[in-house]
Structure formats: structure tokens, C-alpha cells
Structure 1
Amino acid sequence: MKKRLIGALLALTFCVPATAGDITPRLSPTPEQAQAAYLSAMFLSRYHYTVKPLDDALSEQIFERYLKALDPEHLFLTQADIDAFADTRKQLDDAILQGRLSIPFALFLRYEERTAERLGYARSLLAQNFDFSQNEHYPLDRSKAAWLKDDAEARDLWRKRVKNDWLRLRLAGKDAAAIRETLDKRYTRLLANSQKSKSDDVFQTFMNAYAGAIEPHTSYLGRGSAESFDIAMRLSLVGIGAVLQERDEYITIRELSPGGPAIRSGKLAVGDRIVAVGQGDGAPLTDVVGTRVEEVVKLIRGTKDTPVVLDILPADAGPDGRHTLITLIRDKIRMEEQAAKKSVLPAGDGRRIGVITLPTFYEDFEGRRRGDKDYRSASRDVARLIDELKQDKVDGLILDLRNNGGGSLREAVDLTGLFIDTGPVVQQRRADGKINVESDSKAGAAWDGPMAVMINRGSASASEILAAALQDHGRALIVGEPSFGKGTVQSLINLDQVARSDTPKLGELKVTVAQFFRVNGGTTQLKGVTPDIRFPSAFEGDEFGETRFDNALPWRQIDPATYRPANEIRAILPELTSRHATRANQDKAFANLREDVAELIKLKEKRNLSLQEAERKREKDSREARLRTRAEADGTAGPGDDGLQSSERSLSAELAAEKAFKARKDVLLEETARIVGDEVSLLAGSKRLAVGN
């Protein structure tokens, strides 16, 4: 953000109306939220890539998106509820500019009231028995359905929902008593969670409805969300090194981070429950039973080398068991599970293929700005892993970007530079039409041998920049599914800095400021990156991708940058595709994958679930017979449907299931290794592939 822009907006902070709106019984807006809303409007209506005035027309769009955010499946609110707020549809623009946020808070409280009614009614239905011989159905997806006409229609829908929940447990072998107990706890938990919302939650939801009405990737980050974003980018935090989870109103230790204070103490174990938290010996303890996990995390995190006291109910103790007080000293925790990792796979004929898995394009912005010698970044970690894989004598390389949603644009450019000599990586077009080319100017490549990049629908933004650049340069084979299709660039604006606030209270804006284009002049916007070799997929772009957004930026084309692509991969692509197709047709694991994809597509096409026990049992028996046949052949069958939600299983069972899921055979990765192995053999003897300008 240019200094003149910040300076121009500083004066605006003193124009914010003092009032924050009418007081509501439980949740009400604050003066800080009114100020944040006003400042956000100033930025979004003037400096966004696609400027939209905050007027009555946009107000109506905000209203609709806010409703969708509150009740996406149309399960709670009725048309009468919405009609009661009809007069406010064109008032939200004035509410934002005048700092009077009572309307979105009142609508949220109506939603909260209806949630309590629906879940209370669901619990009351558990006293009766259901007739599973009736020809009834429960809708699988109501996101595009009309709002519930009235309370009578709402009660009928929830009767069918409870009936479906009951039937799933019944088919899993549970008796009536066990089903009633499970579902009563489920609906009670959902009700309790719905009543834990804070004022900041309401405000963030509303502001994201406003930001999202302008463009899909513009958003507002409240104080907690902004901190979480910063932690995700630098892959470190100061705390005790424990992953926490809400279970039966207790904050339960789910995992202990290697090397953290919690595991070093030897006094904590997975399954232990945190009852209260204090800020040092002798300080008062804050009871946290029934508290949201993010609130407890705030209490536990803090300044490095400071003490935190935990009141612990051990995993093996009952509710009235003996508690233990444990004092830990906070320390820096590295989030290694989100960092780049390496492995080596065989590819036949003695070839070894290195794999680098990159979950996100992380960068410690502050560490880099300060000039810290060891600041964390994706490109630095990947460069180190490439050196290690060279020592392992690998013949080819896979960069796995599946489900990598992006991150730092600078890291995407730097990381691309590890695989090309020099040259353009991505073009950025600003709102004024000016185009800037981001290039790798560092001569030489960390890896100039055969390689592939794996992508899927979850690969977005920075992942698409890298994949597109390496594809355009002819530097890497792109394998997998078409990517997400996000071709926009966002910039973070710290509203506290704008308001000259010394304490964090206003949050941040993530604003779309540019659109990026490939070096060939095209863009990944909407279309994504198309793989050179495509794998089976059950997902289309209109259900998981940029094209599902009704206000996404359009696809455009600009002039290509100046670059000289290599041609080796394009020349051998037909042979690589042929060899892959032959293997895929003969490989049992690939046949299973295609079968699973077909089954998932079939399930998605179903609009309703039958509530007839006989029909559901036939479907269940058929599915389990198919899995048993597979298990007898290769042992790859998964667990059956137990009708439970994850938090309803024991922690040990949940962790075991996750471990088994992570250990499953990765059919697509193994086939990609074979494809790269083919690439190695077909390119044997050719000159290095990294071509500079």
C-alpha cells in the first residue's frame, strides 16, 4: 500500500460516527466494528480492482449473501423471517457508512432463535418411533431450494432429517436406546455451539457478505482470523505445542507437537482435558469448560518464555476425578506439518523419483522484512530439499501441489525460479490496465532435470502461477485435474495501521488489487491450469472451482511476455500419454479409482435419500459387497458407515482412522512417479531443460 494512499485515508478515520447501533439482548455491535466497517467501505469502494459503489443495489446483494452465510442449506429461517426484514434490504449501505450495524445483528439473532427452535423440535422427536416403510425422502442439498414456507414446512423437514439420522444409526446396528442417546447428545451439542457466537463472529460474517458481494476473494479478517493467517504464513507461533479439540464440552488434547513444551514436560498426554487456564503461578484460573477452542487457544498462546498454568483432568479420569495443575513455559512452535516435505518413490528399471509435497506457499513476511537469517519460506525449504534429493541420487522430481490453495505471490515467483534459468514467471494487470511482469532473474536452476507438477481442483492461486509458468516454459509435465481457476491477486490492508491504533482491534482487509496472467498471455481465471495428462475426477469446476461464483472476474487474454520455451516435453507427450493409458487400463488400483469416482458421481446426482429402510439396506449391502470383494483382492477397503459424526467416536478411534487414511496407498502419486520415470527414459541424453532468455 502506497504511503500517499494510507495518508489520504487517515483523515477518514475521524469521520466515523460514534454510535454503533441499537443495543440487542445478547449480541450487539461495538464502536470498533462501526469504525472497521466504515474504513472497509472507503477502501472497497475506491481501491478495489473492480470498484463497485456501496449503494442500494449492492446492499441487496449483501443482504442475500448474508442470509446464505447464516443458513446455507435453508434449514432454519422461513420466508416469513426474511420478509420481516424486507425493508432493510436497501439499508445496509447506509448502515455501513453510518456505523449503525443493528440490522445484521438483529437478523443474526433471528437466525439464532430459529436454530434453537429447530434443534429443540429435533430433540422432542426422539421420544417417538419412526415408520421406515413409508415412501419418503430427505433432500441431500437444499442450498438452491426455496426458503422454508412456514414453520409447518420447517417441522416436516426436520422430522425427515431426524428420521434420516436415526436410520443411518439403525442400519449401523445401533438399538433404539443407543440411537436416542447419540442423537440427543448431537442436537444438544449443535445447540450449545450455536449459542457460543460472539459479536466478532457476527460482524465478520456480515463484513464477508459485503466483501464477497464485490468479488469472491475479497474478505474481511477479524482480529482472530488475521492472527491465524499470519501464523499460517510464517508456520510458527508461541505456545505450548498442543493441538486442541472440543469434545463433550471439554477442551481435549488431540496431539502433542514434537519438541514443544507440552511434550517435553512429560506431564501431558493425548486425551487429557483442560479445565482451566492461568497466566502464571498464583494468577487466577479461568474456567474453560464449555468454551470454544479458539478462545482457549488465545489464553494459552502468549509471549515467549512466559508461564501458563493448566488445570488438567487426565484422560483416564472420570468427571469427578482428581485434577492436576501443570505449569509450562511458552516457546516458539514450528508447524512442521504444513511445511514442504520430501520422499522418494521407485519408478521401475531402478529409477528413483523424488517427491516434494508443498501444502502452501508460506513466507515469514516480518522475518524477511527484518532481515532474519533463518526466516521461513517455501522456496528456501524446497531448495534445501532439492539439494537433499540430489544427494539421494534421484532421477526425476515431482512437485505435489494438490490441495495447495496458494499463499505468497513472491514465493510462487521464487519457487518457479528454482526450476528455470531466468525468465518471466507471471504477469500482473492492475485496475488501471498497467501490466507488470514478475520474473526470475537469478541465473541457474536448483533442478534442471525431468519433473512433473501434480495439481487438482484444490490447487489455486500461487499453485496455478507456478504450474502455468512451468507448463508455458515447457519445463514440467502437469499431471492431475484442472486446477481451481483463481487468477486474482490480493493485498492485505491492516485497518489498525490506517487508524493509527496501537492495539489490534479493527482487523484486516484482503482486497483484490490485480489479475495475474500466464507468460503466454492467457489467464488461469475461471479456466485454471489444464493438465497435460489428466487423472479421473469426480469434481467439475462449477461445483468446486472459480466458475461456481456468480461474480467471478471474467477470463481475459493479454499479450504474451517475451520468453523462449523448451520443446522436449511437448515432443514426447503423446508417448507419455500412451504409456500412462496402457498402465491405467491394466492397473487394478486405477480400476478401483475409476470405480470410486463413478460411484461418487452417481451419489452426487442423487437429489434425495430414501427414508425406506429396505431400500437403504439394499444400497448399503451393495456398497459393502463391492468393498468386501475389493478387500479380498487387495485389502484396500475402507470402514463402513457407522452413522456417527467424528466427534461422536472415541478419540482413539478417530485418531486411528486418520492414521489409516494418511497411510493409504496414493494411487495417483505412484502413477505420476511412473510417468516421470517414462519422462526420464525418453529424455535420456537430451540437454538440460531449463532454458533462459
Structure 2
Amino acid sequence: METLRKRYKRIERNISQTQSEDVFQLLMNALSECFDPHTNYFSPKSFDDFKIRMSQSLEGIGARLMTENEYTKVVEIVPGGPADKSNDLHPNDRIIGVGQGVDGEIVDVIGWRIDDVVQLIRGKKSTIVRLVVLRAGDPEDAAPDTVVLVRDKIKLEDQSAKGDTLHIRHEGREYVFGVIDIPSFYADFDAIRAGDPDYKSTTRDVQKIISDFRRQGRIDGLIIDLRGNGGGFLSEAIELTGLFIDRGPVVQVRETSGKVGVEWDNRPGVFYDGPLAVLVDRVSASASEIFAAAIQDYRRGIIIGSQTFGKGTVQRPIDLNRIPLLRRTGQRMGQVKITTAKFYRISGRSTQNVGVIPDLAFPSRYDYMDIGENTRPNALSYDAIDSVRHEVYGQLRRIIPVLIRRHQARLEKDPRYQEYLEELKEYQKARENGRISLNEAERRREREKSRQTEKSAAVNRPAAASDSAGSARSDSFHQRRLKDLLVQESGHVLADYLTLIGQN
């Protein structure tokens, strides 16, 4: 009962902290989604968070924060940031006050919403922020410390593309494959406009990772993991595709006027020309689908996984402060993201509602969920336009049927895969049941069974805010890759491909 009482108390506190900005955003999005699921309003705070996610950088102190009871607790220190370099702020410290500059008034932040505390702590590079901190383990009446930090630019490396190598034995031979996990298609356009030569982007990070693979030694193939990648900047999807093809069209865009434009990769040469697999799932959307579709249409790589989300629309952000009438208020008004176009594959087909269908299917628990553009009310319909002339690479069209047969035969004999299928059946059964027992003993058994299923299934999906609310990934990238059944199977598929082209 005490646990339940605390939960309701926390819910009550969260509701009482709702601000007019939150209500306005909720109302505007309820209205806009009556016409289109991807036309949205961002409040100023929501837009700041969105911008950080899309640029993978921010200006602040380099600490991940969360709310615990009435306190803002430090969860993690971002390596290389001001907090890390000062060695004055540590995980589990509690921030109870924030002051600006050398002598600005300290604002008591006990009981504040986490996003409001974050807004106080973030600020322009080279400015000073003072934090009043209760150290980890100290009682509430202990004397706090004051930590003085100089804000700096923080690169969110843990949310950027990551690389690792996968070693497998296939038909008596050892293979080494590079694996690159891409959580989103990001680019720091502020840094680009400022002329920063070290700006972050998905394509630059992937290039660096592939170069690192080459320095470490030859890799036999490359696996690009887009599972859970909800998209990002269209320009980055085009740039990334350009690493694997030698010039050519990547995607078509049709405006509301009906005019169709073609987005091209204009860079000569291919950065990586070896065997390629792209992993997708039902949550892979938008820019992920553009990349996967282009790789599939060029027959440049093998698409493995499940049907993607099916978001084939393009949005354009509009800063409301650019409107003279609103600018005169002197307040930040936020942004509106409006659907202005649809994109089409170079084959002429749209991904809208249908997504990208993989060459080799691998089931997922997402298959049993109401996920995807075709489940969204008021989503635009599927259609098609004329194709664009493009090159077709290699022998994949002829080899894929053989790869499918070998893939299916291998999985039928894999006890881990059979166990995974059983877990999916249990998950499907639980969802269809739609009931929860009120018998305590039965409920405990159900919960333990669900926990074990979740623990086992977690290895087959990718992991999911600095000076931000949130938590770090609990398991290392390398360890998750070693346990990931789909990544392992993708390695065997590429090994099959290498064997088959070697026979021709």
C-alpha cells in the first residue's frame, strides 16, 4: 500500500506541475493530428530537446539528470564535458539550487520539474553556472557544496553511430564483419554554418567507423543496423547512401503542387564497396526507409528484418518567431512542423503505409503490435510515380532466393531461434488475452514469466536525453551485439553471399 500511495502522490505532483505551455502543445497537436499525424507543434522547450537530438550536441555541463522524489539527481557524467573535467560533480549527487554567473541569485530547484531544471543548467558556451549540491549519501540536512562550472559544447557520443566487429565461424571458415548501429540520422547544422570542421553527422561518424575497421584489418562485410531508428534529416539519408554507390539518384520528392524533384548523390566514387546487409524493423522509419529502399533498389545490399514503419512524408519546420506579429511579443513561440511533400523510391514506389519489405524476413514482437503508418488515423495513402533510371549492382537479384533458402534452413535448426519463436508466441498470446489476474500468486507467476521473456527478448532489439533527463544504456554495445541473434544471423547471410559469389 505504501508503494501505491507513493505512486499516486508522484502522479498528483506531476499533474500539478503541468504548465500552460504543455497544455497549449497538447491542444495544438490534438488539432493538427486530425488532418495529418506528422504535422506537429513544438513548444520552445520541446523544440530545444528536438534540436539536441537531431544535432547530437548541446551547450551545457555534460551531466544526465533525473527526478528522484523532490530532487534532481545526477545519473551520469558525460565523458569530456565540463562536469567530468572538473571532477566536482558525481553520479547520485543531488542538485538543489542553480545560479547564473559568478554572483547570480541561487534558485531553489527542489520539487521542480526536470525539464525546468535542465533549462536553468543549459546555457551558452563559456558562461558560468553554479550548482548547489547535496553529495551522494548525505542526509537532507547536510551542508551542501557549491560547484562552479563553465559551460561548453557537449557531443552526445552515446547516442551517435557506433561500430563493433562480429566474429563468426561459417562452414569451417572464420569471418569478421563490421557492425554499425545508427540510432538516428543526425547533423549539427549550427556547427556546419559556423564553419566547425569537426561537426557531427551520421555520415561522417559512419565514415570514421569504416576507416577504423580498415585500420584494424580487413573486414569481410558490413552490417548497418537501423532497427529502432525513427529517421532524422533527409539530407543525411542521401549522404549516407552515397558512401555505398557511385553517384546517382537516391530518392524522389513530390511537392504539394505535384512537382517531382530527384535528390542525388553527386560525389564520385564509392567509399565502401564490399558486401553489405541492412537490418530494419517495424520502428525503422522515414530517413531509415529512404536509405534502406535505395540500397535495395540499387541491389547494393541485403535488407534483413521485418517490414518498416511506412512513413513516406516530408516535413518542414517553421519558426513561429519569424512571423512579424508573433516576433513582436518578445517571447519564444516555438515551431510548427508541417507535412509539405511525399518521398518515393527511385523505383517509383512510395514507402507511405507499406514501408520497405525486407529481402530476408526475421520475425519481431513488433509484428503483434499496432505500430506503423497504416495504423495512424488520417495518414496519407500509398501511391506511385515514374521510376528514375539507376544502376543495379552485382548479382543479388539472382542470389537472394538461394540466400533465403539457406537462411530459413539454418534458423530451423537453431535452438535459440526456436526459443525466440516460442517467446513471440507467448507474447502474442498475452496480448490477445487482454486480462490480468487479480489473484496475487497467479499475478506473481505471470509477472515473473513476463520478466524472463522480456529479459531474453531484449537482446533482439536495440537500446533506446545531456544535461537531459534520461538514463545511460545499461549494457555495452559490444556485449549486446554478441548476444543479438539477428546480428549473428546477418553475419551468416553475408558469409553465404561471399561463398556464392566465390563459386561464380
Does the pair score TM above 0.5?
A: yes
Cα root mean square deviation, aligned = 2.4
Q: In structure 1, give the amino acid aligned to 2:334.
A: G
The correspondence for 1:390, drawn from 214, 234, 238, is 214
Question: SS state of the match for residue 449, structure 1?
Answer: coil
Contact 1:347 1:677 in 2 (8 A): no
Decide whether aligned partners of structure 1 residues 263 and 229 sit closer, same or farther in structure 2, where only a CA change above 3 A counts: same
Correspondences of 1:648-667 after superposition (within 5 Å): 658-659=474-475, 663-664=479-480, 665-667=483-485
Decide whether aligned partners of structure 1 residues 262 and 367 sit closer, same or farther in structure 2, where only a CA change above 3 A counts: closer
Alpha-carbon distance, 1:336 to partner: 0.5
Quote the residue 2:465 is aligned against: none
Contact 1:261 1:328 in 2 (8 A): yes
Q: In structure 1, give the amino acid aligned to 2:185.
A: F
Q: In structure 2, give the amino acid aligned to 1:571.
A: R
Structure 2 unaligned blocks of 5 or more: 459-469
Using the alignment, how far apart are the partners of 1:541 and 1:439 within structure 2? 37
Quote the residue 1:581 is aligned against: 408
Residue 77 of structure 2 is aligned to residue 250 of structure 1 = no
Using the alignment, how far apart are the partners of 2:136 and 2:5 within structure 1? 24
- My pick for the range that moved more, 654-663 or 275-284, is 654-663
Q: Specify the structure having the higher radius of gyration (Cα).
A: 1
Contact 1:221 1:509 in 2 (8 A): yes
Contact 1:525 1:546 in 2 (8 A): yes
Alpha-carbon distance, 1:584 to partner: 1.2
Quote the residue 1:571 is aligned against: 398
Question: SS state of the match for residue 502, structure 2?
Answer: coil
Identity across aligned pairs (percent)?
A: 43
Query: How many aligned residue pairs are there?
Result: 485
Quote the residue 1:30 is aligned against: none
Q: In structure 2, give the amino acid aligned to 1:387.
A: S
The correspondence for 2:151, drawn from 330, 339, 342, is 330
Decide whether aligned partners of structure 1 residues 567 and 537 sit closer, same or farther in structure 2, where only a CA change above 3 A counts: same
Kindly provide the CA deviation profile for residues 330-369 of structure 1, in whole angstroms up to 9, marking residues without a partner as x.
Answer: 1111111121111110132121101111111111223333
Using the alignment, how far apart are the partners of 2:78 and 2:502 within structure 1? 44
Kindly provide the CA deviation profile for residues 46-85 of structure 1, in whole angstroms up to 9, marking residues without a partner as x.
Answer: xxxxxxxxxxxxxxxxxxxxxxxxxxxxxxxxxxxxxxxx
The correspondence for 2:417, drawn from 587, 590, 596, is 590
Between 1 and 2, higher relative CO (CA 8 Å, sep ≥ 6) is seen in 2
Using the alignment, how far apart are the partners of 2:148 and 2:194 within structure 1? 32
The correspondence for 1:301, drawn from 112, 116, 122, is 122
Question: SS state of the match for residue 367, structure 2?
Answer: coil
Contact 1:223 1:504 in 2 (8 A): no
Contact 1:517 1:558 in 2 (8 A): yes
Quote the residue 2:162 is aligned against: 341
The correspondence for 2:438, drawn from 587, 611, 616, is 611
Alpha-carbon distance, 1:400 to partner: 0.8
Using the alignment, how far apart are the partners of 1:590 and 1:672 within structure 2? 13
Contact 1:234 1:364 in 2 (8 A): yes
The correspondence for 2:288, drawn from 463, 480, 504, is 463
Alpha-carbon distance, 1:287 to partner: 0.6
Quote the residue 1:449 is aligned against: 274
Kindly provide the CA deviation profile for residues 434-457 of structure 1, in whole angstroms up to 9, marking residues without a partner as x.
Answer: 110111121211111110001111
Q: In structure 2, give the amino acid aligned to 1:658.
A: S
Quote the residue 2:297 is aligned against: 472
Quote the residue 1:262 is aligned against: 83
Q: In structure 1, give the amino acid aligned to 2:77.
A: L
Structure 1 unaligned blocks of 5 or more: 1-179, 639-653, 687-693
Quote the residue 2:17 is aligned against: 196
Question: SS state of the match for residue 475, structure 2?
Answer: helix
Q: In structure 1, give the amino acid aligned to 2:159.
A: Q
Kindly provide the CA deviation profile for residues 218-248 of structure 1, in whole angstroms up to 9, marking residues without a partner as x.
Answer: 1011111111122222211111110000011
Decide whether aligned partners of structure 1 residues 321 and 418 sit closer, same or farther in structure 2, where only a CA change above 3 A counts: same
Alpha-carbon distance, 1:569 to partner: 1.2
Using the alignment, how far apart are the partners of 2:207 and 2:55 within structure 1? 17
Question: SS state of the match for residue 305, structure 1?
Answer: coil
Correspondences of 1:51-450 after superposition (within 5 Å): 180-348=1-169, 349-391=173-215, 392-450=217-275
Kindly provide the CA deviation profile for residues 86-107 of structure 1, in whole angstroms up to 9, marking residues without a partner as x.
Answer: xxxxxxxxxxxxxxxxxxxxxx
Kindly provide the CA deviation profile for residues 635-671 of structure 1, in whole angstroms up to 9, marking residues without a partner as x.
Answer: 9699xxxxxxxxxxxxxxx989933899442111111
Using the alignment, how far apart are the partners of 1:193 and 1:662 within structure 2? 37
Using the alignment, how far apart are the partners of 1:230 and 1:616 within structure 2? 42
Contact 2:178 2:222 in 1 (8 A): yes
Decide whether aligned partners of structure 1 residues 193 and 210 sit closer, same or farther in structure 2, where only a CA change above 3 A counts: same
Using the alignment, how far apart are the partners of 2:503 and 2:404 within structure 1? 21
Quote the residue 1:555 is aligned against: 382
Contact 1:541 1:547 in 2 (8 A): no
Question: SS state of the match for residue 350, structure 1?
Answer: strand
Using the alignment, how far apart are the partners of 1:333 and 1:656 within structure 2? 16
Question: SS state of the match for residue 610, structure 1?
Answer: coil
Question: SS state of the match for residue 38, structure 2?
Answer: coil
Residue 492 of structure 2 is aligned to residue 674 of structure 1 = yes
Alpha-carbon distance, 1:280 to partner: 2.5
Using the alignment, how far apart are the partners of 1:363 and 1:198 within structure 2? 31
Using the alignment, how far apart are the partners of 1:341 and 1:622 within structure 2? 33
Using the alignment, how far apart are the partners of 2:242 and 2:53 within structure 1? 23
Kindly provide the CA deviation profile for residues 393-444 of structure 1, in whole angstroms up to 9, marking residues without a partner as x.
Answer: 1010011111111111111111111111121110111111111011112121
Residue 305 of structure 2 is aligned to residue 484 of structure 1 = no
The correspondence for 2:429, drawn from 602, 611, 615, is 602
Question: SS state of the match for residue 318, structure 2?
Answer: strand
Question: SS state of the match for residue 492, structure 1?
Answer: strand
Decide whether aligned partners of structure 1 residues 636 and 373 sit closer, same or farther in structure 2, where only a CA change above 3 A counts: closer
Contact 1:217 1:512 in 2 (8 A): yes
Alpha-carbon distance, 1:617 to partner: 4.9
Using the alignment, how far apart are the partners of 2:295 and 2:403 within structure 1? 18
Alpha-carbon distance, 1:281 to partner: 2.9
Q: In structure 2, give the amino acid aligned to 1:602.
A: K
Decide whether aligned partners of structure 1 residues 338 and 571 sit closer, same or farther in structure 2, where only a CA change above 3 A counts: same
Using the alignment, how far apart are the partners of 1:657 and 1:504 within structure 2? 36
Using the alignment, how far apart are the partners of 1:325 and 1:511 within structure 2? 45
Using the alignment, how far apart are the partners of 2:472 and 2:118 within structure 1? 25
Question: SS state of the match for residue 382, structure 1?
Answer: helix
Q: In structure 2, give the amino acid aligned to 1:357.
A: D
The correspondence for 2:342, drawn from 515, 532, 556, is 515
Q: In structure 2, give the amino acid aligned to 1:231.
A: I
Using the alignment, how far apart are the partners of 1:239 and 1:613 within structure 2? 47
Contact 1:538 1:598 in 2 (8 A): no
Alpha-carbon distance, 1:204 to partner: 0.7
Contact 2:66 2:72 in 1 (8 A): yes
Alpha-carbon distance, 1:681 to partner: 2.2
Using the alignment, how far apart are the partners of 2:369 and 2:4 within structure 1? 34
Kindly provide the CA deviation profile for residues 593-645 of structure 1, in whole angstroms up to 9, marking residues without a partner as x.
Answer: 21221111111112221213354355457668x87xx9xxxx9699xxxxxxx
Using the alignment, how far apart are the partners of 2:492 and 2:442 within structure 1? 43
Q: In structure 2, give the amino acid aligned to 1:678.
A: D
Alpha-carbon distance, 1:370 to partner: 4.0
Question: SS state of the match for residue 464, structure 1?
Answer: helix
Using the alignment, how far apart are the partners of 2:53 and 2:477 within structure 1? 24
Contact 1:541 1:548 in 2 (8 A): no
Alpha-carbon distance, 1:517 to partner: 0.4
Q: In structure 1, give the amino acid aligned to 2:84.
A: I
Using the alignment, how far apart are the partners of 1:224 and 1:582 within structure 2? 51
